[in-house]
Amino acid sequence: MAEPGIEEKRKGAAPSAGAAQKSATLQYDGKSYSLPIVEGTESERALDITRLRQDTGLITLDSGYGNTGACRSSICFIDGEQGILRYRGYPIEQLAEKSSFLEVAWLLLYGELPTPERLTGFTREITRHTMLHEDFRRFFDFMPKSAHPMPVSAAAVAALSTFYKEADTEDRVFRAIVRLLAKMPTIAAYAYKHSIGQPPMYPRNDLDYCSNFLYMMFATPCEPYYVDPVVARVLDLLLILHADHEQNCSTSTVRLVGSSQSSLYATIASGISALWGPLHGGANQKVIEMLERIALEEGSAEVFLRKAKDKDDTTRLMGFGHRVYKSYDPRAAILKKSCKEVIERVGASSKLLEIAMRLEEIALEDDYFVKRKLYPNVDFYSGVIYQAIGIPVNMFTVMFTLGRLPGWIAHWLEMRKDPDTRIGRPRQVYTGHRERAYVPLDQR
Ligand code: CMC
């Protein structure tokens, strides 16, 4: 198959966007097929294989979808080689410094930064919907106290579809979005309170989004709780940094489940389940467990890294490596900077941060990591901050859920409006038995 612009590459010139080929040719079984090339706004190019099977009988095989564009999207742009991340064109560094989570949520959902009036109205709507239906409180009573808050949150979000109507009109879609963003922190805090045997705290509408969440997590009916504005702002920053990341595992899950026109609540619950895994959002919990293990048992970062490089050992350096980033994850760079400030501000121990920084330092000079372009990802430093601000370890991935929620919904909205959307249904290369005759039980 001819690569786009291959002639120019052979002559040593970088193919310019203007000179890009509009199609590539596939030679197969004595015939030639022309495959159109689609180009995105950042000059990313893709072979359009929509007619491949129809025309040639072939399908593509791409384990882990590393080379597969599943949709066109205008929400998030990542350049993994350069370490660039933008939401709707705005650099993550600028949003992290100047914006707020609810402002970013609006941006992701509706494509533009909100006007002050829109942001005020949106914030008001979300604030008014933070309470859970009283009957819903009983839902948590049926969960074992030892349950991880991630499956509890996933089940609770799916259960919202039993309380609220299907999002089948534009007005109901907006209500469902508001409900999800408003109730997710309450669900998360209730799941946590249930796990530690404390009564849930009702949300407080006089507090901002993150302060209210911290209040529901840490206040008790017996004593007042003061929300440190610095801690609330750090939490807001963490949510902004996690808000979207194009077609990652959980977002692709949301698109796949949503493509069957399943309920929005059930669709988001599937995203939460996908996020839970240790190779995805669950990595932040694994990072802190790894750092604690190094502090307690392994003794030194060097010993741990030797294990992570050993092919006969399943140990991985958690919080390192990424499917898309082949340079420093810009989110990790922002978090590394805040780590020190937060730890100093709240007076937490810096022991784990020191181990993390030592691990990073030696990994970035180690041939194994250099050759494979493995750098710290967002999860490498987020856990250190969560721990410093008092978030329990088993809630780390739930925090990721709070952040990723607007991104998932934005992709669901985009998919719903895209005329090219069809139900997601990949093919396979079958490697099982060919037809064989059934053998009755008494003859086996
Ligand atoms: N420690 C040690 N070796 C690693 C690591 C790691 N963290 N990550 C990748 N490698 C090696 C891997 O063994 C393979 O080596 P070889 O070529 O010799 O077989 C090579 O690097 C390529 O790795 P891969 O697993 O094929 O890469 P992938 O794109 O399929 O996986 C990843 C990406 C993020 C799942 C993986 O890097 C990993 O498991 N990292 C640790 C878990 C983690 O931090 N996950 C959070 C990701 S960021 C948050 C999010 O978006 O969810």
pLDDT of 9 > 50? The answer is: no
**pLDDT for the residue 296:** 86
Closest residue (by CA) to atom 52 of ligand 1? 280
Give yes or no for residue 17 having a pLDDT over 80. no
**Distance, CA 191 to ligand 1 centroid (Å)?**
30
Ligand 1: distance of its center to the CA of 48 in Å? 28
Band the pLDDT of 58: cuts 50, 70, 90: very high
Average pLDDT (47-75) is 95
Q: Which stretch of 211-220, 244-253, 295-304, 398-407 has the lowest confidence by average pLDDT?
A: 295-304
Overall average pLDDT of the 145-153 stretch: 93
pLDDT at 27 over 90: yes
349-377 per-position pLDDT tens digit = 788 888 988 999 999 999 999 999 999 99
For the CA of 380, the nearest atom of ligand 1: 44
- Residue 317 near ligand 1, beta carbon < 6 Å: yes
Distances, alpha carbon 400 to alpha carbons 189, 250, 298, in Å: 14, 11, 28
pLDDT tens for each residue of 86-143: 999 999 999 999 999 999 999 999 999 999 999 999 999 999 999 999 988 889 988 9
* Type of residue at 277: G
What pLDDT score does 392 carry? 93
Ligand 1 centroid from CA 316, angstroms: 8
- CA of 64, closest atom in ligand 1: 30
| CA of residue 309 to ligand 1 center, whole Å | 11
Ligand 1 atom having least distance to the Cα of 372: 21
pLDDT at 14 over 60: no
Count other C-beta atoms under 10 Å from residue 206's C-beta: 9
Mean pLDDT, all residues of the chain? 91
The highest-level CATH class for domain 23-85 is mainly beta
- Smallest CA separation from ligand 1 atom 26, residue: 323
Pick the residue whose CA is nearest to atom 24 on ligand 1: 323
pLDDT reading at 10 higher than 90: no
Question: If you take atom 35 of ligand 1, which residue's CA is the nearest one?
Answer: 279
Distance 287 CA to ligand 1 centre (A): 13
pLDDT of residue 16: 45
Is the confidence at residue 238, as pLDDT, over 70? Answer: yes
Stretch 70-76: mean pLDDT: 96
What pLDDT is stored for residue 351 in this prediction? 86
Task: Give me the mean pLDDT over the 372-387 stretch.
Answer: 92
pLDDT of residue 11: 39
Residues with a catalytic annotation lie at: 322, 379
Q: Look up the CATH number of domain 283-388.
A: 1.10.230.10
Is residue 326 lining ligand 1, measured as CB closer than 6 Å? Answer: no
* pLDDT value for 344: 86
| Domain edges within the chain | 23-85, 89-278+393-417, 283-388
pLDDT in tens, 199-231: 999 999 999 999 999 999 999 999 889 999 999
User: Are domains 23-85 and 89-278+393-417 of this chain identical in fold?
Assistant: no
Distance 363 CA to ligand 1 centre (A): 14
Q: Ligand 1: which of 372, 379, 399, 404 to mutate, most ligand atoms within 8 Å of CB?
A: 372
In this structure, the residue with its CA closest to atom 22 of ligand 1 is 372
Reported CATH class of domain 89-278+393-417: mainly alpha
In this predicted structure, the answer to whether residue 15 has a pLDDT above a threshold of 60 is: no
For residues 394-399, average pLDDT: 94
pLDDT for 5: 38
For ligand 1, is residue 306 a contact (CB within 6 Å)?
A: no
Name the pLDDT band for 73 (thresholds 50, 70, 90). Answer: very high
pLDDT at 4 over 90: no
Helix axes 149-163, 170-195, angle to 10 degrees: 140
Query: Taking the CB of residue 396, how many other CB atoms lie within 10 A of it?
Result: 26
* Closest Cα to atom 31 of ligand 1: 323
Is 282 touching ligand 1 by the criterion CB < 6 Å? no
- What is the per-residue pLDDT for 352? 86
Asked if pLDDT for residue 390 goes beyond 50, the answer is: yes
If you average pLDDT over residues 20-48, what whole number do you get? Answer: 93
